[in-house]
Chain A
Amino acid sequence: MIEIKDLHKSYKMGHSELHVLKGINFNIKEGELVAIMGSSGSGKSTLLNILGILDEADSGLYTLDNVPIKKLNETIASKYRNQFLGFVFQSFNLINYKSALDNVALPLYYQGMKRKERNEIAMKYLDKVGLSSHSHHLPNELSGGQKQRVAIARALASNPKVLLADEPTGALDTLTSYEVMELIQGINDEGKTILIVTHEPDIAAMCKRNVVLKDGLIIDDKMIEQVRASSYV
């Protein structure tokens, strides 16, 4: 599903250059649930941004679902994001003046879908995350866990190939974190490929594969025995 070969990325900081990714190689197959771990500054968020076509690598190959991602203009990049990727952010990033339903329906709006149709689909995904009763609530009327569920529903709405989550539990307490992870595991069980950036070991333990980054290089990449979040809840 995702193939990465010798990925480099550096940022210019004034006169000096900060080499963030120093040659990353790894592949992700369909249906995997991968945690990318590492301390802050290890380059894990940069990697996720490149995978999410939010940022572009300096060199190296990136193939997403057999489509090479290289030197895309913004319009095509946004189209690929819409078709291939779903995003979940630490700070939820819901549009605060839109209801939960409208937030979930937004990716479908950018697919050019009619209002009635996209509201039906959005409702289906809200129901999937257990929030169909809150469909007309605004984000500030929802708890943190509920917000993240709406964000997950939104990420799923366009039926993407890969779900990318950047510290999805970073702003949540432990119990809520586990509830969200339970939801994510359930989605993965249905076959969705999911990448999670996290620095929390217990969250990483709930994935099927752990990739550890340090100073821009992968220092560890292993399959693990998944801990089911439902055992905590």
Chain B
Amino acid sequence: MFNIERWQEIFEAISKNKLRTFLTGVSVASGIFILVILLGVGKGLQNGIQKSFERDAVGSIYVWGGATAKAYKGLNPGRRVQFRNSDYDLSVNKFGDIMDIKGSTYSFWGATIVYGKESGSYEYRGVNPDGIAIENAKIIEGRFINDNDVANNEKVTVVSSKIKLEIFKDKSPIGKEITINGIFFKVVGVFTDPGGDWDEKRVFIPLSTAQRVFGVGDKINNMFFTLRKKDSYQEAVDEANKFTENLGQLLRSKNGVAPDDVSGVGINNSVTEVKKFYDLNLYIRLFFWWVGICTIIAGVVGVSNIMMIIVKERTKEIGIRKALGASPISIIFMILHESIFITTISGFVGLLTGLALLELVGPHAQSEYFVNPQVDFTVAISTLIVLVIAGALAGFVPAYRAAKIKPIVALRDE
């Protein structure tokens, strides 16, 4: 394969036909460049879309205590089941390894909130840091409750944007002190909830603080969990159903509720509602595969066209060379050698330029639906190899035909 004389011959052809070399190089390089950029943008969009749907993607599982409907172990029906921290701790101990988001809440409706001369009746809800994720709320100012607040029973609160408007007259409430049922709390954040008015008549406080300062001991109202994401929808549903059943048994037996009494311990599993997320995810993947494949096809077609035009342009030269004693195989080798050389070099240039651009511009081009545009280097390299091989194959067919052509026919070609 390594033949110095042929290399010299090819370098001569390349350097003497600067325009042809340049145009071939530019089209191959720009093809790869566009491909890399498209793949990067595709990846960025995919990341962005996935990320923005992930928030409400994972089906959540709510657990609440109600009134028993059946007599069980000598207890009358109609008894209220009150969850306590121990119920939550037990659940997490037992199933923590398959959980993603988890938390428990204690809520109280009709709490009086006072700031200066303004006051109103709202709900306070004791939560842990995951509380924001499960409510699908968003922080628009300051921060949410964090682990430190919960651990130290800090008297801090996160108010809704509605409360900010009603109590604080739309001035920033961060750092202000309000009273909730007579207890002072410092506002550390403002949230907004797409759930609307009802979900905005609420302040969040650390669960531990709520239990301590409002004297509710270790009582909790609800528990909520989400499970780790699965590869397919079916797996997710299967696991959620199993988890729901096991959790129900665990909590019912702990609280003396009949194993089939769904009103004593209620569990709402909304995983079945997230089918659309898994479907969407699949469609996004398919779409970008499709885009990628189409781009590669476009690149292959582009490179092939160039090679065909080059061979066409060189038909006469091939005829001359054949008349002077070039064998068909040497003609084919000459064309392939040149085309592979040029496509590889310019392909690399295009690849590196594309990667560099993504690297430089990518971090500045982030938005909600566009995150981390990047190209897997191995994907890029294999794309390049595919294009080089495609270029060689595309060059081979016309080169083979040109080598087969009788020299008189090629020479007649003016």
Contact = CB atoms under 8 A, between A and B. Distances in A.
Interface in B15-47: 16-17
A114 interface: yes
10 contacts: A54-B323, A74-B327, A75-B327, A78-B326, A78-B327, A79-B325, A81-B322, A87-B323, A93-B320, A115-B8
Interface in A139-158: 154, 158
Interface string A32-55: 000000000000000001001011
A98 interface: yes
Contacts of B17: 97
Given A78-B325, A93-B323, A54 B16 contact: no
Interface of A: 49, 52, 54-55, 74-75, 78-79, 81-83, 87, 89, 91, 93-95, 97-98, 102, 106-107, 109-112, 114-115, 154, 158
Interface in B57-95: none
A172 B225 CA distance: 94
Nearest to B407: A54
Contacts of B411: 89, 93
B356 interface: no
A1 B401 CA distance: 33
A102 B12 contact: yes
Which 6 pairs of residues, A with B, have the shortest CB-CB distance?
A: A82-B325, A97-B16, A110-B325, A107-B324, A75-B327, A54-B408
B317 A81 contact: no
Given A75-B327, A87-B323, A110-B327, 16 more contacts: A49-B408, A55-B408, A75-B328, A75-B329, A79-B325, A79-B327, A91-B414, A93-B319, A95-B321, A97-B13, A102-B12, A107-B325, A111-B325, A112-B5, A114-B5, A115-B5
A82 B408 contact: no
A78 to B, nearest CB: 5
B329 A81 contact: no
Nearest to B17: A97
Nearest to A138: B16
B413 to A, nearest CB: 11
A111 B324 CA distance: 10
Interface string B303-329: 000000000000011011111111111
Contacts of A49: 408
Interface string B325-345: 111111000000000000000
Contacts of B279: none
A158 B325 CA distance: 10
Interface in B375-414: 403-404, 406-408, 411, 414
A81 B408 contact: no
B56 interface: no
Contacts of B329: 75
Contacts of B316: 93
Contacts of B8: 115
Nearest to A97: B16
B16 A106 contact: no
B9 interface: yes
B312 to A, nearest CB: 16
Interface string B270-301: 00000000000000000000000000000000
Contacts of A115: 5, 8
Contacts of B326: 78, 110
Interface in B135-171: none
Contacts of B414: 91
Nearest to A114: B5
Q: Identify the interface centre among A81, A111, A112: most chain B CB within 10 Å of its CB.
A: A81
B322 A78 contact: yes
A83 B8 CA distance: 23
Q: Identify the interface centre among A78, A83, A115: most chain B CB within 10 Å of its CB.
A: A78
Interface string B199-241: 0000000000000000000000000000000000000000000
Given A93-B316, A97-B13, A106-B321, A54 B327 contact: no
Given A75-B329, A93-B316, A81 B404 contact: no
Nearest to A52: B323
A88 to B, nearest CB: 10
B16 A78 contact: no
Nearest to B324: A107
Nearest to A48: B408
Contacts of B317: 95
B327 A98 contact: no
A71 to B, nearest CB: 15
B14 to A, nearest CB: 10
Contact of B5 (A78, A93, A109, A158): A109
A83 B324 CA distance: 9
Contacts of B327: 74-75, 78-79, 110
Contacts of A95: 317, 320-321
A106 B323 contact: no
Contacts of B406: 54-55
Nearest to B317: A95
A87 to B, nearest CB: 5
Contacts of A97: 13, 16-17
A106 B408 contact: no
A74 B323 contact: no
A78 B328 contact: yes
B409 to A, nearest CB: 9
A59 B13 CA distance: 40
A195 to B, nearest CB: 15
Nearest to A154: B324
A89 B407 CA distance: 12
Contacts of A89: 411
Contacts of B322: 78, 81
Contact of A98 (B16, B319, B403, B407): B16
Q: Identify the interface centre among A74, A89, A106: most chain B CB within 10 Å of its CB.
A: A74
Interface string B360-376: 00000000000000000
